[in-house]
Amino acid sequence: MTEPSQPYSNLLHRSREIGLIDSASQLLSWDQETYMPPDSLTFRAEQLAHLGGWTHRLFTKPEVGDWINACEDHGFPADSDEVANVREWRRAYDRKTKVPAELVEELQRAQAFAREAWMEARQKSEFPIFQPHLEKLLQLSLRMADCWGYEQSRYDALLESYEPGARTVALKTLFSELRPVIAELGRIAGERSARLPADMLRGQYPIAAQQAFNREVAEALSFDFKAGRIDTTAHPFCSGIGPGDCRLTTRYNEADFTESLYGILHEAGHGMYEQGLRREAHGTPLGSAASLGIHESQSRLWENHVGRSRTFWEHWLPRAAKYFPELTRFSPEEVHASVNRVEPSFIRVEADEVTYDLHIILRFEIETRLIEGTLKVADVPHVWNEEFEKLMGLKVPNDALGCLQDIHWSFGSFGYFPTYMLGNLNASQLFHRATADLPDLQSQLGHGDYSSMLGWLRSKVHQHGQRFEPLQLMRSATGEATQARYHLDYLRVKFGKVRDLAS
Amino acid sequence: MTEPSQPYSNLLHRSREIGLIDSASQLLSWDQETYMPPDSLTFRAEQLAHLGGWTHRLFTKPEVGDWINACEDHGFPADSDEVANVREWRRAYDRKTKVPAELVEELQRAQAFAREAWMEARQKSEFPIFQPHLEKLLQLSLRMADCWGYEQSRYDALLESYEPGARTVALKTLFSELRPVIAELGRIAGERSARLPADMLRGQYPIAAQQAFNREVAEALSFDFKAGRIDTTAHPFCSGIGPGDCRLTTRYNEADFTESLYGILHEAGHGMYEQGLRREAHGTPLGSAASLGIHESQSRLWENHVGRSRTFWEHWLPRAAKYFPELTRFSPEEVHASVNRVEPSFIRVEADEVTYDLHIILRFEIETRLIEGTLKVADVPHVWNEEFEKLMGLKVPNDALGCLQDIHWSFGSFGYFPTYMLGNLNASQLFHRATADLPDLQSQLGHGDYSSMLGWLRSKVHQHGQRFEPLQLMRSATGEATQARYHLDYLRVKFGKVRDLAS
């Protein structure tokens, strides 16, 4: 038997060292979006590339491979911390070392050009400007997938970057189960919502008051401001900078306070996950989030299952009215109906909870066809527009409102989009299970008491980090792997119940 | 002849790499003072130590010594960029490699304990709590000085960390020339100022208005906000984070707008120096500030020679009154007199322009005696209080208001304090020379036109980085090394002229 303690502690040490440096990169990136003066953009990009290159070299040294081999040969107990960490180091090491440096560099160059081309293409709404870049990125992604290897589908190899253990065939089954039901629900709820004025809550909501109200809500959820903060950016995000330091951002629309509020509810969901990871395990797999699909389940659970519920507004509307006196003219039911208004629209990030899923389904279908070679890049706009009309009943007027809207493809991020759907499915499944496990949950939520909800997520999800792969984590938390039916049930019940105020 | 191009470009590359990483550390430090959540303090300290250790290792590798040797053997032309960079790399390399790692670590440990002890000692005003730590730091500093080596005085070796080329014997001459004149001037100006109410400008100055006014002033000076910003901290500072990124901070007193304003004038002086360094030389000696004494000359010139002049208030008072209507009741002469009020006081950082120098003189005298072994640590409070009373005419009531007031000794930073005085002397000498070189300067300053002043500093000081050692830079800019007389003349003229409003 080999003596694993030294190789394992070497790996721990290296992993934590990389965690320290990655955390500096996180701060540099956060700062770039929040406070950095514009003139230092080029230098900041150099800095981030340098730190990223450094951690890449630290983790891909042959000694790291030797340490992992030694740990694997030793055979730690199946449920030990060690075995989980070693499994994830192996995964990361293989993915980083299987791709030749030339291919990584070629991809980085292609991404830089593609991003610029995408920006121009979107601005002019001319897909042909972006097309050769997307073709190049697709070709490079296929080469990456072949380096990484896969059993059934090349798309599996790409998915693995974002959602370890997810398989294309399983996702296709899920998505085909979801598609007709959600499309139908979108139509029905959309028709009903059409009788509700779109701008019902429109008013004058001073930014300082929005900030104070959002903070009160985030504190009530238990987002920890001793270990976090909120700033303003063009696009909301959450950055887990390091242990004891998780930062949320949102944006403010003076005419609509719900925009910043739901930004914060979403990002605080991510943030409480980060804050629930074990601080002492920072930099190691056990101190890291399980996957994008699990991360997104946390944000969507707080944003939608908690934040877009009727009980939420029963509790919070009187409190919101202290900051925004004009809200006194609304009932909780009216605000609830307004923030759950369903209307097919072109832009994913502005979509309601029902039609949002249709955007993801569409992009997943197109992505998998591109990777499987059954769709040419040149045909993407045509297919997009055709399928979009089938799903949403809307004619896409131009590519900027269609297949050019999202930035992901300009990074070559094929395989990222399905994690948005997994997030929604996992959120519904976790919330369903929590409701069963905690009989008083609905009443607590109605009183603005979120401690049981958060405690349940802490114990079932947060504290485990990457101890389990995502599907195994869902099994451990809910008794089964990710299913479609809890999300469908949730949507059916909720969007069959929205009060029809105009009738 | 050796071929120097490869060693030199290796050094350039290494130096720039270290610059990238140091800039990340700068941002981490800036963030620690501005926006960092409190819970991540320990982790941030680990991060900074890690990055600092990394750049230390990068620069102290034997290959760096070999490259420097090769460049020195080659003999670049005396006025070339190369010769200046190599000279400074040599200085830094020798200082970093001459001290054994154990001594560096012992000092770091001692600093950590000393800082805590100093905080407790100051809070309780009990010097004996700090005394053993100061003794330890003194002993370690002497050992460091012996590692570095010196010709005449051990204090020279310590000075060299902050002010390359400065010598104790020369400073003693300067300081003994300054001491009696400034002490006398402090008494005279203090007596005259005593008839001026201390709180003349006291009022209600909303923070948002102070921020807007300060920004207008900083923009007028030409501090570049595309390459910089202003934030709020407990103690004002300037951080040159990287090329195109220099950040100032100040603090706000709602009862006194001049506190944040003079904070900004001072820090903007530092900031414009940083912004005037050659961006493309970032990370190399030619892209770095010459010394602390030169840096401080820039802040003091803008704060005092420009900002505390009568012409400044003739121009800015009507503009300030737009933000603070209550100022309309004052004349520029009254504001000028108020911001130049002289009054002996215990705390250096709150001192006026005249008595400030006395604080530095006192500490320099005590520091040099400690290093030379003619004063024991245990006797510091007694000597401090005795000398303070001679200089200021005030009895020190306790050590918190006396020798425990400043943090510098808790880092073991012996040799730092004289750079504050050099900053004042250099500022007066540079301003005197600029006035001679630019006949229209006073009239331009009176119109709020700072372009000639800044242009002169850019050409004489900023653009050179570390091309010259500080004394040589002063010679190149003003025709002579740092002198006492320009500063004494400035103080005599100015504080002989302050209007006696009460008479």
Q: Which residues of chain A lie closer than 8 angstroms to B42, CB-CB?
A: 244
Q: Please tell me whether residue A77 adopts helix, strand or coil conformation.
A: coil
Q: State chain A's mean pLDDT as an integer.
A: 95
Q: Which residue has the tokens 């896969």?
A: A150
d(CA A479, CA A437): 12
Residue B197: predicted pLDDT:
87
Query: How far away is chain A from the Cα of B14, in angstroms, using its nearest Cα?
Result: 12
Q: Which residue has the higher pLDDT, A500 or B49?
A: B49
- A75-84, A218-227, A488-497, B179-188: least confident range: A488-497
**pLDDT of A503 strictly over 70:** no
Residues B365-391 as b/e (b if ≥16 CB within 10 A, e otherwise) read bbbbbbbeeebebeebbebbbebbeeb
The predicted pLDDT at position B497 comes to: 56
Contacts of A46 in chain B (CB under 8 A): 20
**Which of B181, B179, B97, B98 is CA-nearest to residue B489?**
B181
ipTM, two decimals, is 0.93
Q: From the candidates B88, B163, B267, B469, give the one annotated as an active-site residue.
A: B267
CB neighbour list of residue A457: distance below 8 Å, 6 or more residues apart:
A272, A273, A276, A298, A301, A430, A434
pLDDT attached to residue B4 = 67
Q: What would the pLDDT profile of A61-105 be if each residue is shown by its tens digit?
A: 999 999 999 999 998 999 999 999 999 999 999 999 999 989 998
pLDDT digits (tens, 9 = 90+) for B114-140: 999 999 999 999 999 999 999 999 999
pTM passes above 0.90: yes
Partners of residue A246 in chain B, C-beta under 8 Å: 37
CA distances (Å), B438 to each of A165, B68, B433, in order? 73, 41, 8
* CB–CB contact B51 A17 (8 Å): no
Taking a C-beta distance cutoff of 8 angstroms, is the pair A363, A413 a contact? no
Q: Model confidence over A259-294: pLDDT tens digits?
A: 999 999 999 999 999 999 999 999 999 999 999 999
Phi/psi at A187 (nearest 5 deg)?
Answer: -65, -50
Q: Where are the beta strands (DSSP E) in A359-438?
A: none
- The tens digit of pLDDT for each residue in A316-367 reads 999 999 999 999 999 999 999 999 999 999 999 989 999 999 999 999 999 9
A53 at the B interface (CB within 8 A)? no
Give me the total of CB pairs closer than 8 Å, taking one residue from chain A and one from chain B. 102
Query: Cβ contact (<8 Å) for A229 and B35?
Result: yes
Euclidean distance between CA atoms A343 and B63, whole angstroms: 66
pLDDT for residue A499 is more than 60:
no
Average pLDDT, rounded, for chain B: 95
* Matching residue, tokens 């208005």: B209
Find out whether A30 and A239 touch, Cβ atoms under 8 Å: yes
Reply yes or no on whether A17 is catalytic: no
Sign of torsion, CA A76 A82 A83 A87?
Answer: negative
pLDDT of residue A497: 56
pLDDT score, position B3 = 61
Q: Would the pLDDT of B298 be above 80?
A: yes
Q: Alpha-carbon distance B274 to A310, whole Å?
A: 55
Burial of B428 (0-12, 13-18, 19+ CB in 10 A): buried
Instruction: Identify which of B278, B274, B270, B273 has the alpha carbon closest to the alpha carbon of residue B299.
Output: B270
| A445 and A493 Cβ atoms separated by less than 8 Å | no
CA distance A226 to chain B (A): 6
Q: Which of A35-39, A418-422, B406-410 has the lowest mean pLDDT?
A: B406-410
pLDDT tens-digit map of B445-485: 999 999 999 999 999 999 999 999 999 999 999 999 999 99
> Taking 50 as the threshold, does the pLDDT of residue B73 lie above it?
yes
Residue B31 has pLDDT above 80, yes or no: yes
H or E stretch at B184: helix B168-193
Q: pLDDT class for A3, splitting at 50, 70, 90?
A: low
Q: Identify the closest residue of chain A to B22 by CA–CA distance.
A: A47
Give the bridge partners for B247, in sequence order: B229, B239
pLDDT for residue A501: 38
Token pair 């094929």: residue: A414
